[in-house]
């Protein structure tokens, strides 16, 4: 009988899954995927254990408005035709 490792998956199934992931994402993306997966697991563990080191305060938003124009904005199609006819 085969030994089960993770959730009923044996070594053959894990190798097959790794090969499929390697084909889909390529060798260059695997370190990035592993890093993101590790950070996700770490965040999940810290939230499950009740640690409150996650900053949930909203970040201040910087608003940059365009410079004010010297003419008033046109709000009606009739005004546009009147301005262009003059």
pLDDT in tens, 9-40: 888 998 999 899 889 988 888 889 889 999 99
CA dihedral (23, 16, 31, 37) in degrees, to 10, reads 120
Name 35's Cβ contacts closer than 8 Å, sequence gap at least 6: none
pTM: 0.40
Residue 16: predicted pLDDT:
93
Q: Tokens for 65, please give them.
A: 């408005």
34-80 residue pLDDT tens:
899 999 999 888 888 776 655 666 777 766 666 665 565 656 665 55
């Amino acid at each position: 009988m085969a030994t089960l490792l993770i959730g009923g998956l044996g070594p053959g199934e894990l190798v097959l899954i790794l090969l499929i992931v390697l084909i889909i994402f390529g060798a260059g993306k695997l370190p990035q995927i592993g890093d993101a997966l590790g950070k996700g697991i770490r965040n999940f563990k810290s939230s499950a254990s009740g640690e409150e080191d996650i900053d949930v305060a909203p970040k201040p938003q910087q608003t940059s408005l365009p410079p004010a124009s010297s003419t008033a904005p046109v709000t009606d199609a009739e005004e546009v035709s009147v301005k262009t006819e003059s």
